[in-house]
Amino acid sequence: MEAYLGIDVGSISTKGVVLSKDYKVIASAYHRTQGKPVEAIKGLLKELQNQSNHTKIIGAGTTGSARRLAGVMLGADIVKNEIIAHAVASSYYYPDVRTIIEVGGQDSKIIILRDGIPIDFAMNNVCAAGTGSFLEHQATRLGIPIEEFGKYALNAKFGVTIAGRCTVFAESDMVHKAQMGITTEDIIRGLCDAIVRNYLNTVAKGKDIKPLILFQGGVAANIGVKTAFERALEQQVVIPENFLVMGAIGAAMLAQEYINDSKITKFAGFETANTKFITKAFECKDCPNSCEVIETFRQDQIIDRYGDRCGKWSEEVK
Amino acid sequence: MKVAFPYFGYDTIALKNFLEMLGAEVVLPPLPTERTLSLGTKYSPELICLPFKITLGNFIEALEAGADTLFMAAGARKCRFGYYHFIQETILKQIDNNVDFYPISQYTPFEFIFQKMPKIFSVSPARVMKSINFLLAHSRLIENFRKLVRQARVIDFTLASIHEKHALEIIADAINLMQIRKARKEIKALFNFADDLPENIIKVGLVGEIYLMLEPFANHDIEKELGKMGVLVLNNRSLYRHIKHLLHIDFDRIKLNHRAYKYLKESPGGEALNTVGEARTFIKNGVDGIIHIFPFTCMPENIALEALQKMSDDYSVPILSLSIDEHTSKIGLLTRLEAFIDILKRVKNQKAVSRVPRSSLLTPH
Amino acid sequence: MIKIGIPRALFYFRYGEFWQHFFRNLGYEIVVSPSTNKQILEQGLKYVSSEICLPVKIICGHIEVLKNQVDAIFLPRFVELNHGLYTCPKMIGIVDIAQIQVGNACEILSPKIKDNFMLAHFQTGLKLTGNPIKVIKALNRAIPYLSHHKKLSNSEDHKQRILLLSHFYNLWDDFIGKDIINSFQSCGFDIATKEDLPDKVLKSDKGFAKNIRWVYERELYNAFQYYSDKVAGICNIISFGCGPDSLIGEIMSKQANEYKTPFLQLIIDEHTSKTGINTRIEAFSEIINRNYQSKPYLTK
């Protein structure tokens, strides 16, 4: 069976899918990036290979913040940013979608679509104290498993206001509220409300939020945040079945669009998981900009360089 | 016609009485709360300064309370404040299309007296002038009251709070010049327990942007909080002075601008010259520290901040800079205030004048 | 010989060439600080409050570079231009900040410009040389360089055009603007800027523009109005903490919504990462292209 591969490498998690030609998810996998994208991608590939026997990958796409690295490693046919990937996947499964709320590990975005075409988007500019890693950190601090975090919010009697532009200040405000004797449930609901409020006041500011509203990304697993969104927007919010891997699905779809049954894939195969990759960084001292240049080696051979403002290092490889 | 305008600290009463003298029915929105701020933030541009958000919240709540005519100070110059009304009007018209929104330019007193007010309220310019005269007297009364209550808080905070409520009733009831004269005496009598202040008291000069200095909701009640700590706050900004300035009869300004000249050779707009001039005056008159309060990303005050920092080095007086926005948590603010006052106390006790290095500048962000 | 330093920041990107020629004609040695780089920015960060906008932080870095190698730094105080229009509080106050920053290391030459650009320069020249005829000659010979504006647009091309809407001191500073310009160009766009437009359009006071009393904001707004139906998309680059932009940017973004012109607001500060900018620009150009394929009305 022929299929397409899509990989979404985010700052916190790495997601991948194998997608059949009629857009069915044959295999999907989720890994922690943990600051080691190369390892995460390899682990992901192994898992995807195990799940999808007898499939032949005829196109591969990557997306996410490390899309470039993943693209170089895999020999991806197309490297696209996560906004387009999310939009493409969502508008296939939900043709009526007009708003996509995506809250991931370290950033959050809004995508506005009309008639299935993305027309506007925004991403968080400043640290919005409202992303997955912050929630997770707070869950750990309160000793609650992240999976249960949302349920606590549902049991709250009322929400408290948590102030704070950034995670550090929000946390100190939470600590203080707890010291005042406010219950954990109420604080968690306050936190969910704060995340939603911050999102709507910064990322989604001035955007025309119309139904159908999809909520995806890692934080969509948190029922507390979902209900907080519904409360604030006074509308129903839908969480797609594959909310975690929508970006990866989009990447696979974009690969199919690109290959279009005629081009031959550059995909290096699942064996890439066994290849040795090394990434190194060095600071170029040739001018006062002191750019940090990132290099990627496959089996000790340099395959990619980026990060220089002037382009003299990256062009050398091309 | 039901008229509303944003809160402006204690001086709200004076503005309300002024409009009522012109024959308006004033609908005051509920006192600003967290709800006001979050309503305002919801509709405001992301990067705009705090007064925009609170005043917009006031307007929205005023509409809910039944107001149909809104007044906003305007006058486009260097500072963003003069441009607020353009965007606020658009936003408010989206919420309620039938609302009448009147931007009142601050810098054209003649137009105000002879055209704008007579046209809106169908009154004679003479009546407008009479009302302005009353507004001056009334706001002067409030300025005087604020000074007394600040002193009283240091002596007995609880008693001061009780008398404060009483005094505010007296102020609200004074609706002619005779009554204002009477009210002044009564208020003075109320607070006479604080006539003599102890010698060793910590004195702090408050400077900054006028809205943040005068509106307790915006500044998290900084004057009260400091009073609770037994600190005497000096605050020379008031609606009374501001109106005098707009009528070009505030001669103190000349002195303040002159004092600021050492640090700022040209007005960067807003209240920056005032801030620097007042701070220097406070230091000359012997305060223990200066608190500089302004909205986050305020343009003129950020220029003033640099000047104040230099002044702090020159005169060895500690300065606390507080830039406030909707994310500011009251607890965080209080922690900074307490720490700052502790530093001032130590400095005072040691009688040694210590330099406060720049790195210890406490800013909330 | 007296050495005069000119920081390569803020107003340099509009008057830089004029200044260099003017002072050279007067017979002074000119030192222009190097293009902004990370090191310069970091020096600037030490001197000003973190809330201040990026271009002001940058110029403080340039002043730091210059202060020990020149006798005087030329930094005019632009207060009013174009018949009573203001620059902005920070442009006015930057001279005072610079004065505090340099202390006694060197002098700061800062003629006050209140709608008297030429006179102010004449007075500065006179103060330096004491020879009015020499100054007038030097000014005369430098005047042609006043109208030298950078341009990127190539109207012969039939590529889609993007309007980059930003202050000249953001756009033409290599450290801020270069990456953004490159990104758009590599996405295949032709770039229009407000520098392409004649003064008559930029200074127009028709419509809402007459309410805007900030001289450069009015230019941006006029450029926006002029281009809004002539380009495939508009990218508004705002530095965090820029007061005027926070207001006018909002007005423009609302109007762009009404005109249905794709509008991207990039908010930049010293923490902005190149990757973040690229992701946004890529997504934006993708959106324009996808719109373009299905809705051909955007081709003009």
Q: Which domains, ranges and CATH numbers included, belong to chain A?
A: 2-88+246-274 (3.30.420.40), 95-238 (3.30.420.40), 277-317 (no CATH)
State the nearest Cα–Cα gap between A236 and chain C, in angstroms.
25
**What whole-number distance in Å separates Cα of residue B70 and Cα of residue B22?**
15
Tell whether B170 and B215 lie within a shared domain: no
The pLDDT of residue C292? 59
Tell me B110's DSSP state. Answer: H
Query: Residue A121 and residue C284: Cβ atoms within 8 Å?
Result: yes
Cis peptide before B305, with omega less than 30 degrees from 0?
no
CA B296 – CA B48 distance, rounded (Å): 9
Q: Does B365 touch chain A (CB under 8 A)?
A: yes
Question: What CATH number is associated with residue B216?
Answer: 3.40.50.11900
Q: What is the pLDDT of residue C155?
A: 61
Query: Are residues B204 and B102 part of one domain?
Result: no
- Is A167's Cβ below 8 Å from some Cβ in B? no
Hey, how many other C-beta atoms are within 10 angstroms of the C-beta on B24? 19
Position A130 pLDDT exceeds 70: no
Q: B219 and B206 in one domain?
A: yes
Instruction: Using DSSP, state whether A209 is helix, strand or coil.
Output: coil
C-chain residue closest to A68, CA distance: C275
Number of domains, chain B: 3
- For every residue of chain C, DSSP letters joined together read --EEEE-SSTTHHHHHHHHHHHHHHHT-EEEEPPPP-HHHHHHHHHHS-TTS-HHHHHHHHHHHHHTTT-SEEE--EEEEETTTEE--HHHHHHHHHHHHHHTTSSEEE--EEES-HHHHHHHHHHHHH--HHHHHHHHHHHGGGGG-------TT--S-EEEEE--HHHHTSIIIIIHHHHHHHHTT-EEEEGGGS-HHHHT---GGGGG--BHHHHHHHHHHHHHTTTSSEEEEEEETT-HHHHHHHHHHHHHHHHHT--EEEEEE-TT--HHHHHHHHHHHHHHHHHHHHH-GGG--
Query: B171, B197, B223: which is the final residue of a domain?
Result: B197
Distance CA C121, CA B139 (A): 46
CA A90 to chain centre: 14
Helix, coil or strand: residue B23: coil
Q: At how many degrees (to 10) do helices B125-155 and B12-21 cross?
A: 160
- Helix H or strand E encompassing B361: none
Contact flag B331-A164 (C-beta cutoff 8 Å): no
Q: pLDDT at residue A66 above 90?
A: no
Which residues in chain C show pLDDT less than 50?
Answer: 295-300
Q: Which helix (H) or strand (E) holds A202?
A: none
Model confidence at A317: pLDDT above 90: no
Q: What is the mean pLDDT of each run of 10 residues along chain B (365 residues)?
A: 94 94 93 92 90 96 95 90 93 93 92 93 94 95 95 93 94 92 94 87 95 95 94 95 92 92 92 95 94 94 94 91 87 86 84 47 44
Q: Measured between CB atoms, does B145 come within 8 Å of chain C?
A: no
How many helical (H) and strand (E) elements, i.e. helices and strands, does chain A have?
10, 13
Is-contact B34 A161, C-beta < 8 A?
Answer: yes
Sketch the domain layout of chain C as residue ranges.
3-147, 161-298
Where would I find the beta strands (DSSP E) of B195-244? 202-208, 231-234
According to the model, what pLDDT value does residue B259 have?
A: 94
As for the ipTM of the complex, it is: 0.90
Domain that includes residue B354, residue range: 198-360
Query: What's the token pair of residue B146?
Result: 């604020």
| Cβ B290 vs Cβ B317: under 8 Å | yes
Listed residue (B236, B223, B293) closest to B50, CA to CA:
B293
* A313 interface with C at CB cutoff 8 Å: no
Per the structure block, which two tokens stand in for C276?
A: 């973040």
Number of other CB atoms surrounding residue C90 within 10 Å? 26
Under the banding of pLDDT at 50, 70 and 90, the label for residue A282 is confident
Claim to verify: residue B205 and residue B354 sit in the same structural domain: yes
Set of chain C residues whose Cβ sits within 8 Å of the Cβ of B270:
89
Whether residue C267 and residue A288 make contact (CB cut-off 8 A), yes or no, is no
Contact B118, B110 (CB under 8 A): no
Residue B58 belongs to some domain of the structure: yes
Looking at the predicted structure, is the pLDDT value of residue A53 above 90?
A: no
CATH fold label, C161-298? Rossmann fold (3.40.50)
pLDDT of residue B327: 82
pLDDT of residue A168: 66
Spatial separation of the C-alpha atoms in residues A32 and B22, rounded to whole Å = 68
Whether residues B155 and B205 fall in one domain: no
Chain B CB contacts of C52 below 8 Å: 302
Taking an 8 Å cut-off on Cβ atoms, the answer to whether B297 and C90 are in contact is no
Residue C200, C-beta contacts closer than 8 angstroms, at least 6 positions apart: none
Number of residues that this document lists for chain C:
300
User: Do the domains at C3-147 and C161-298 have one common CATH topology?
Assistant: yes
Looking at the complex, does the CB of residue B269 fall below 8 Å from at least one CB of chain C?
yes
CB contact under 8 A, C250 and A289: no
Question: Which of B34, B47, B331 best probes binding to A when mutated, by most A CB atoms within 10 angstroms?
Answer: B331
Do residue B190 and residue B211 come from a single domain?
Answer: no
Please give the CATH number for the structural domain made up of C3-147. 3.40.50
Higher pLDDT, C77 or A297: C77
CATH of the domain at B28: 3.40.50
For residue A265, how far is the Cα from the chain centroid?
Answer: 25
Subunits in contact with chain C (3 or more CB pairs closer than 8 Å): A, B
Cross-chain residue pair C97–B306, CB shorter than 8 Å: yes
The pair of three-digit structure tokens given for residue B288, joined into one six-digit string: 């223990």
Domain-located, residue B105: yes
Per the DSSP assignment, residues forming a β-bridge with B109 are none
Under 8 Å CB pairs connecting chains A and C tally to 60
Specify whether the CB–CB gap between B266 and C77 falls below 8 A. Answer: yes
The Cα C158–Cα C232 span in angstroms is 12
The CA distance from C211 to C222, in Å, is: 12
Q: Specify whether B298 is located in the same domain as B346.
A: yes
Q: Is the CB of B363 less than 8 angstroms away from the CB of C267?
A: no
DSSP-derived pairing of the beta strands C112-114 and C107-109: unpaired
Residue-wise over B132-158: b if at least 16 C-beta within 10 A, else e?
Answer: bebbbbbbbbbbbbbbbbbbbbbbeee
* Mutation target among C46, C47, C48, C51 for the B interface, most CBs of B within 10 A: C51
Summarize the confidence of residues A86-112 as an average pLDDT: 89
Q: Is the dihedral of CA B44, B49, B50, B55 positive or negative?
A: negative
Size of interface A-B (CB pairs under 8 A): 31
- Residue A154 burial (CB < 10 Å; 0-12/13-18/19+)? middle
Distances (CA, A) of A156 to A188, A192, B70: 8, 11, 39
Burial class (CB in 10 A: 0-12, 13-18, 19+), A106: middle
Left if phi > 0, otherwise alpha if psi is -120 to 50, otherwise beta: which for A289?
A: alpha
Residue A318: pLDDT band by 50, 70, 90 thresholds?
low
By DSSP bridging, strand C29-32 and strand A56-63 are unpaired
C123-146 pLDDT per residue, tens: 999 999 999 999 999 999 999 988
Contact C95 B47 (CB under 8 A): no
Strand order in the sheet with B2-4: B25-26, B2-4, B69-74, B100-105
Subunits close to B (at least 3 CB pairs below 8 A): A, C
From chain B residues 299-328, the ones with a CB under 8 A of any chain A CB are 325, 327-328
Cα A171 to Cα A167: distance, rounded to the nearest angstrom: 6
Mean pLDDT of all residues belonging to chain A: 86
Is the CB of residue A210 less than 8 Å away from at least one CB of chain C? no
Query: B365 lies in a domain?
Result: no
The reply to whether B296 falls in a domain is: yes
